[in-house]
Structures are given as C-alpha cells and as structure tokens.
Structure 1
C-alpha cells in the first residue's frame, strides 16, 4: 500500500488526514511570558508540536539523566563514585567518565520504564564546555576538526530499536500545539535538517565518498614520469591529516618522485565557489568557507598561540602552506582575548600571512581558526607541503582546477600516456552518518553544503549529472546548485505533502531561504518512521548536554527537557530557531519546531529562552 505523510503520520492514499488551524492557538503561559520578556509579538513566532508514533514505544534514543553527583546504584566507567574527586576528562577520542545504567530505571525517567538510560554528571558537561571555549574562539570548528567527543557515554550496541519502520498508528492524536504553522520564515541552520535527512534517505548512512588518485605517463622505479591526478569526490571532511594519509598511500604504491605536476580535479562540483564576504562581511570565519569538489580542512587554518616569557607568543599552524610565509612569533598586549579578527587582525596577502594586532595576553594557549579565501589555492598549497613533508619531491607544481585532467593536444611523449581507468589509490571518507553528526551537532555550514551538493552528484542515475569527459573514469558525477536544489525539490514532492520549502543553499546561511514550521514538522515526522532514523536523531544536539543546544540547561536549569530533547538550532541576527524531537514524560514522542523571525536584530539570548520554554513545556506532556 502506498502511503502519504501528513504531519508526521503515514496515511494510505485516499484517506484524508487534515490538521487544520482555523484560529491562532492559545500559547502556554510560560511561552507568553517569555515572549513578553523578550519584547516579541506572537506574530513573530511559528510553532508546531506534533505527536509521532504512540506512547507505548518510542524510537527516540534513551533519555540522558543529568545528575549533580553520581548515583549510588551506578557503575562508573572510571570506577570512581565521587563527582567531587573525579578529574575533568581530557580531550581524547572518548572523554566520557560517566555511568551507563542497565535495567529498568523508572525513577530516573519520570515514570517511563525503558531498557537502558544514560547518566552524565553536570560537572562533566560544564567542564567540557568551559574547556573548549577556553581553548578556542571557534568551539564548533575546533570540535569538528579535532573530533572532540561530547561528554556522553556511548549507547550499548544492542540498546536501540531495530532500524525498521514502526507499525503505523492512524489514531495518533492531533497536533498538541499549532501557531502560525504555515507562515514562511527564514530558518537559519535548522534548514540543515532538510539535506542531511534527504542524503540519508537517498545515499544511506553507510555511504562514503571515494577520493581517487590516477597518473598519466609511466612509473619507472620510484619515479613517475607524468602527472599525478587527484580526483576530488566532494568529501565533506578531508582534514589536513587525511590529506597526509592519502598522499602516504600514493607513496606506498612506490611513487616518491614526480617528474610532472600534481593535478587536483574538483569538477565533481561545478561553479559552486562563493564570495566568503558576501553573507556578513566576515570572510575570515570558517562558517563562511566555500564548498569545493576537493575541500581541504574546511579551507581553514588553525593558528595555535603559545605564551612566552618575553611579551611574545610563539605561533604554530595546522596545516602549513607551501611557499607561503607564516609568522612564528607575535608580540602580546594587555587585553582580553577575542576572536581572530580582533585578537590578530589577520590578512591573507599573496605570499604571506600578516597579523596586524598584538595578541592579547589573556588568550594564553589558544587556537584561532581563520578561513583562507580560495579553496583551490589552499588545497594546492597543503598538498605541496604534505608531499614534501613525506620526503618526496615534485619537479612541476600543484594545479587545482574545476575540470578533469586533459592530455595535451597532439602530444605523444611518455608523460602524456593516458591513465588507466583503474585508480592507483581509492581513499574512502568517513561514512555519511559520521559526517552529519558534525553538521547537525556543531552546525557546520560548509560540510552541509558538501553533503547537499553530493545529493545532486550521487543520489540517482541521471545523464545530466555526468559529463563522461574524463580520461580516467567513466560517467563522472557532476553536481551544481541548480541540480542539487532540483533534486531536493523533487524528493519533497515525492515523499511529503506540504509545499516544498524555498532553498538557495544547503546550510541555511541565507536570508532568502524560507520554510514553514509545518515543513520541518512533516519532515521530522517522516524521518521518525524511517530505517535511517537512528543516524538522523543521533546527529542532533541533546538539550542541556551537547551540541549547540548544550546551554539549554544554563538558561533553564530546571527544564524537563534536559536530556530528553534532540534538537538542531539556528541563529542569524534576526532569526532564532530550533527543531527536533522531545520525549514527553508520558512516554509520547513529539516533533517540535519553533521559528522566530523579526524585522530587526534580535536579543538572541532572550529569544532563545522562548524556545527553551517551548521545549520544557513539551517535555512535561
């Protein structure tokens, strides 16, 4: 039986299910008070709170219980039962010194009996947030690039419900709360929920990007007489360390010397480069980095400062750039630490990085992330430096281009022999599920763009998406913004019933994008019953615990939503938004969407409290 989806409920074709809003719904008193305090009107906000599934079984992850001190009946993973005496966890692949409770624990989940719950100390959350904010002015880029795990125990592998659609319940109650549900609004980063789920649906959670390496000419001993070709795949997270691993694999194939060029082919994405200053005149911020078919390290450099004893600080960089001057020290001044723009005043010049300010002494040991203005030049310089760092040499240069490598017309030298169809190296990315965790947990804009564009390149066979012009691969996929947006629009028409949102990019870093709360609620409801739901919901921040919603517990310490809401937030100067899922205390799961738009700049903190109250109210249901 074919099903349509309406407000998160599956309905057989021919069965009408309409949740209509005939008048403005009465808002809960806590929301009304928060709106008044934030000097916002009820017309400024759109809300949908919609039950999904039923209250006997939930597909949401286990509730996280935040405690001031470990409970007597927990088994701590570090064998330490004293919160006061437990040292803060270090930045490592798994920094979780919390407890996992197994068995039925209704006392921890407000009367809901579940098979597994998780406990995390409030002190661990606070220590984690303090540490990352002290470490850098850009905590989300830092956590994404350095793979810093949130302070949360991992779920046992057998604790989740099977990743298959649930039995559908056509008796699901009507909407719990509707307010301006169909009003089109600017969503900010909550829009990332759209391409990340469509990518999961069309590509699958285990999808990987393969960066392939070919060569022209011939290999004689450890010398390549020809060009080395790196064919970009659109991998959203090709960090500089992974570039080193890619080149090391080339070296392991016996190539140490290249009598030719290294050619980087980024043609998988066509004409996607953006002006990094166009959105908000902040071209140095990594969130403004442009997508690219071979994106390296988000086109961003980490500048690490180390205080010295002589009113100076030493500087190190990751990654280094070939043939580019980077200052090794900087003078310091007595001032508070701020962003790179104000603390360093960096300027990318043609051959060197200039720092026009003395570093504030309060920065101490600190990491600043600064975006480079040209993704292709950045990638070329990183590759050249990494190749040399491996002890290899190159007689030519690194050329980054948005077109496949072409053999010179009429040339018949050994160096111009066409490459084999089989790659020398095929280097897989991290799986899609891992990548969308970074996108939604840390609101990574350029990764969202890469994933969205990959929908256009890889989702379905389409002759319009393939040039077939490459010498070294057949039917090379190509995506553009029109192709990507067309595929998202087509997917929406096929699977959902609300009118498709208006998107112009894949990240929400746009002021002309519009969605309704009904749009996002329907998408979330559809995702809830989907086989890939676990990967989707696990990518969201947990209210009061992790991600961009971690501060929910600071703003509303007694919120019932702490540990039981999985949320993507969004913020622009006149937008505050959030969307995701809440596990009500009754056991009922809800989709929840709140979008605030104004014609003037918002008090972000006050506006965020309004949405905090919405989460708290929903969790109490």
Structure 2
C-alpha cells in the first residue's frame, strides 16, 4: 500500500514539474567565474592603471545585472551620447520624417523672367549634397526661367545662428567632425559629411608639386599648396588645415611620390558656402542674375517653385550612427527643440532631457552639453546607457534604432560602420551591435551582444582618463570576449 502511495505521489510531482513554464536556469558557479575573470582582468590591465572606467552588463529582456563596476559613476561618453540623440529624435519626429529644402520666390514668373527675389530655404536636411543644389538650379532652368530680376537669398533661419556647441574648441573648427552647424549646409559626398569640402592631393610621378583638387569645385575656399613630393624611402606627412576664421586652406608637409591622399575640411560659414554654390550652378544652367546674393529670412508670402525632400529619418540614421557623424547629431538636437522659435542647442537639450524623464531617468543625474558627445563636459553613467538600450526595445521605432548601430566584423561600411574592423574572424563577428566612441583620453562601447546560447546581453563600457585612447577598443573587446566565453555555457534548460 505504501509503495502504491509513493508511486502516486511521484507521478503527481512529475506532472506538476511538467506544468512549470520552460525557463532558463543559471548554472551554479558559472556567473561567479565570469565575475572573477572580469575583476581580475580589470585589476591587472596595465592600460587601466590610473584611468577611470565604468561597466554595466545586463540580461536583455529582464534587465537583471550580471556584472557591474562603477556603473553609477558619471563618465565622458564620447560618441555613445549619440545613442540618446538617436532615440530622442526618433521619438520626437518619427522614423518616417523627411527633411525639406525649398526654392521659392516673392515675385511672378513671366516670359522666362522671374521678377523678384529667389530664395533657397534650408530646413536642416543632414543629407543635402552639392549635387542636390546643382540639380535644383538645373530644375529652375527646366521651369523656363532664363533671368532673375532680383537677388538670390539663402534662408537658414530654421535654426539659430549659433554655429558651434559651447565646448567646441578652436582646433575642432576646421576638422570634419567639428563642422559648423546650419539649417542650410551641404556635403561633398554620400557619407553626408555636411559642411565640408573634400581636398584631394595627388603626387604623380611626373609632377614637381602635388596636384590638388577640391570637391565640389568652388571659389568659396582658397588653396595654398606648400606641400612637397618626396621619394618612397623618405618619411612623408601631409597636413591639410583651414586658417581659423577664414576659408583659406593650407596644404603643407610632404607626400610620397605616386601616393594619393584626401582630407575633409570644414568650411567657415556653411550657409554662405551653399549660397555661392547655388549662384554658380544657377549661372551655369544658363540663367542670368541681375541682383546680388545675401542671407535673410524668406517672406511668409512667397510662391514655392521647387522642393527637395530627404530620405526618411530611419534611413538617415544609418550614416549618422554607423559613421558617427557629429554634425548630424547637432542638427538632430536642434530639430527636436522648441517649435515656437528657431532650433537651438538649449531647447534641444531640454527636449532630450524631457524625453529621458519619460523613461524614468533620475533627474539631475547626468550632464548633457551637446548631441554628439564631442564635449568633454558631458557626464553619463554606464547604467543610464544600458537603461536606455533596454527600454528602447519597447518602442515602435526600435528596429530602425537597432539597424543603425555598427555591427562587429562586417566589412561593408554601412553595415559594420565603426565596428567593421573589430572582431573580424572571431565568434563574435556579427553578434555585437553597438555604438563606439572616441575622444582624447576616452573610449566607449555600448550596445547589444548575442551569446553562444542565443541569449542577448546589453552592455556599456566607458573608459576615461586613458593615456592613449587607441588602447581602449582592445580593452573593450577583451571584456566582451570574457563575457561571451563564460556566458556560452551559463544557461541550461
């Protein structure tokens, strides 16, 4: 009888066990081993001696912390700041939002003559290129316009006139990553390096001095070519810089014979740059201009002649995040500010903070000075970044956000982005989607990683105060390799 009762109890327990939902259960000791390995690595990594670091790693779905070290210490995030900007602009404008550039007039068009002023109105399109400006000029000719009896006016008042965020240094002003911000600005390429010209230097075998070509061709900048050509066995270093407060570009140093080099240089006053390009292209299309060129606000009463729309925001996020474009970040930040006045940094930052408040971020616990992370004053914690990454998964725009992240070890630039040369040929290639960040003394990496078991973790690694920030990516990679190796057998069914 007792044996029968025990059999019934055993059967009942088995049935009850089968009714329990199928879940992952941590294997005892595995998580501790990962923590021990990470702790030992961080303590012994020579490049971290005297530096500061913050790390937070969580399970993707539950948000449960599996490792943390100084996770609540504010750090300079560098371009990891773009994670916040991308989420905020998606939330505020929507992933299908398109940006506009408009050509309009305040006068009638009759018998091939435009009797009034012609206005080129910028609305903050991050993807506008010089070829788009040329196309608009040609389309005016196609409309039958042969003469403009008025001025050509560039209107960039959709944003304010503040060109640089408050912590931009004068040394950043001529660099492509520190380009001036305007609601009317163009790029020389399809990477959309807005507000710049591309300077191409070629040292052919027959020339005594290197040849220089600028894209787009424009008289807005001047070139002073002081560079020399040296033989292959001589040390060569070419420098391309713009003189502060001007559009004089000086090329100095040397380039090896047979070599080609190119550099993107930010222009001084991008609106004036676009205005001159537009004037040149209008004339080249066969249209006479009676008046002059200037910048001013277009009148409310005007007639639209042409409109150029950008690709949807979800597509513009690809070059922004994959290639880590600072100019795009600041333009997006100005876009999400007040609708009652011109876009500006103060309102944009306030709106970004308002968005984060809605995600239940603790108020007053971070410092935000720009949208790109170029500022050394920004202060964000690793836990705040992982919180953003976890909560973003609940948003309708998350697929666009996730697609915009660089993918480890993927060679195609608009897939791998700034991670295309990392984890190549390893088990982690294709399994990390994350935003990189680099400043002097700063390296960062935050995003998502798929483990060998198919589970995913969310991580943020912020390294500050480094003697050489170029050592940072190797440290980040080592940390993630340890996590991957230990998590691959941490779960069992």
- If the length of structure 1 is used for normalisation, what is the TM-score? 0.65
CA gap of 1:256–1:31, structure 2 versus 1, over 3 A, is farther
Distance in 1 between residues matched to 2:118 and 2:182, nearest whole Å:
20
Which residue matches 1:483? 347
Which residue matches 2:433? 566
Q: Does 1:597 align with 2:464?
A: yes
Q: Secondary structure at the match of 1:312?
A: coil
Q: CA deviation at 1:276?
A: 10
Which residue matches 1:390? 285
Which residue matches 1:304? 200
Which residue matches 1:466? 340
Which residue matches 1:515? 380
Distance in 2 between residues matched to 1:209 and 1:564, nearest whole Å:
33
Q: Tell me which moved more, 35-44 or 228-237.
A: 35-44
Q: CA deviation at 1:27?
A: 4.3
CA gap of 1:354–1:284, structure 2 versus 1, over 3 A, is closer
CA gap of 1:349–1:189, structure 2 versus 1, over 3 A, is closer
CA gap of 1:174–1:329, structure 2 versus 1, over 3 A, is closer
Which residue matches 1:46? 54
Which residue matches 1:552? 422
CA contact (8 A) 1:481 1:505 kept: yes
Q: Please point out which of 31, 36, 43 is paired with 2:44.
A: 36
After TM superposition, the structure 1 = structure 2 runs for residues 133-532 of structure 1, keeping only pairs within 5 Å, are 172=62, 174-274=64-164, 278-279=168-169, 281-297=171-187, 298-308=194-204, 309-322=206-219, 325-326=222-223, 331-334=228-231, 336=235, 338=237, 342-345=238-241, 347=243, 353=248, 355-357=250-252, 359-361=254-256, 364-401=259-296, 404-406=297-299, 419-420=301-302, 423-456=304-337, 465-466=339-340, 478-499=342-363, 501-532=366-397
CA contact (8 A) 2:166 2:369 kept: no
Distance in 1 between residues matched to 2:314 and 2:145, nearest whole Å:
34
Question: RMSD of the TM alignment (CA)?
Answer: 2.9
Unaligned runs of 5+ in 2: 1-32, 188-193, 411-415, 488-493
CA gap of 1:318–1:567, structure 2 versus 1, over 3 A, is same
Distance in 2 between residues matched to 1:49 and 1:272, nearest whole Å:
38
CA contact (8 A) 2:367 2:380 kept: yes
Q: CA deviation at 1:438?
A: 1.2
Distance in 2 between residues matched to 1:250 and 1:302, nearest whole Å:
27
Which residue matches 1:112? none
CA gap of 1:577–1:348, structure 2 versus 1, over 3 A, is closer
Q: CA deviation at 1:358?
A: 5.3
CA contact (8 A) 2:227 2:255 kept: no
Which residue matches 1:19? none
Q: CA deviation at 1:456?
A: 1.6
CA contact (8 A) 1:285 1:370 kept: yes
Q: CA deviation at 1:452?
A: 1.5
Q: CA deviation at 1:229?
A: 1.0
Distance in 2 between residues matched to 1:285 and 1:35, nearest whole Å:
37
Q: CA deviation at 1:618?
A: 3.3
CA contact (8 A) 2:156 2:182 kept: yes
CA contact (8 A) 1:223 1:256 kept: yes
Distance in 2 between residues matched to 1:173 and 1:522, nearest whole Å:
8
CA gap of 1:333–1:284, structure 2 versus 1, over 3 A, is farther
Q: Tell me which moved more, 325-334 or 216-225.
A: 325-334
CA contact (8 A) 2:229 2:257 kept: no
CA gap of 1:588–1:175, structure 2 versus 1, over 3 A, is same
Distance in 2 between residues matched to 1:242 and 1:178, nearest whole Å:
48
Q: Tell me which moved more, 426-435 or 272-281.
A: 272-281
Q: Secondary structure at the match of 2:128?
A: coil
Distance in 1 between residues matched to 2:271 and 2:453, nearest whole Å:
53
CA gap of 1:185–1:349, structure 2 versus 1, over 3 A, is closer
Distance in 2 between residues matched to 1:453 and 1:187, nearest whole Å:
20
- If the length of structure 2 is used for normalisation, what is the TM-score? 0.81
Q: Does 1:584 align with 2:451?
A: yes
Q: Secondary structure at the match of 1:310?
A: coil
Q: Secondary structure at the match of 1:281?
A: helix
CA gap of 1:280–1:609, structure 2 versus 1, over 3 A, is farther
CA contact (8 A) 1:496 1:523 kept: no
Unaligned runs of 5+ in 1: 1-24, 54-171, 407-417, 458-464, 468-477
Q: CA deviation at 1:594?
A: 0.6
After TM superposition, the structure 1 = structure 2 runs for residues 5-44 of structure 1, keeping only pairs within 5 Å, are 27-29=35-37, 32-33=40-41, 36-41=44-49, 44=52
CA offsets, 1:79-110, max 9 Å, x none? xxxxxxxxxxxxxxxxxxxxxxxxxxxxxxxx
Q: Secondary structure at the match of 1:552?
A: coil
CA offsets, 1:121-166, max 9 Å, x none? xxxxxxxxxxxxxxxxxxxxxxxxxxxxxxxxxxxxxxxxxxxxxx
Q: CA deviation at 1:359?
A: 4.3
Q: Secondary structure at the match of 2:457?
A: strand
Q: CA deviation at 1:220?
A: 2.0
Q: CA deviation at 1:603?
A: 1.9
CA contact (8 A) 2:101 2:123 kept: yes
CA gap of 1:343–1:362, structure 2 versus 1, over 3 A, is farther
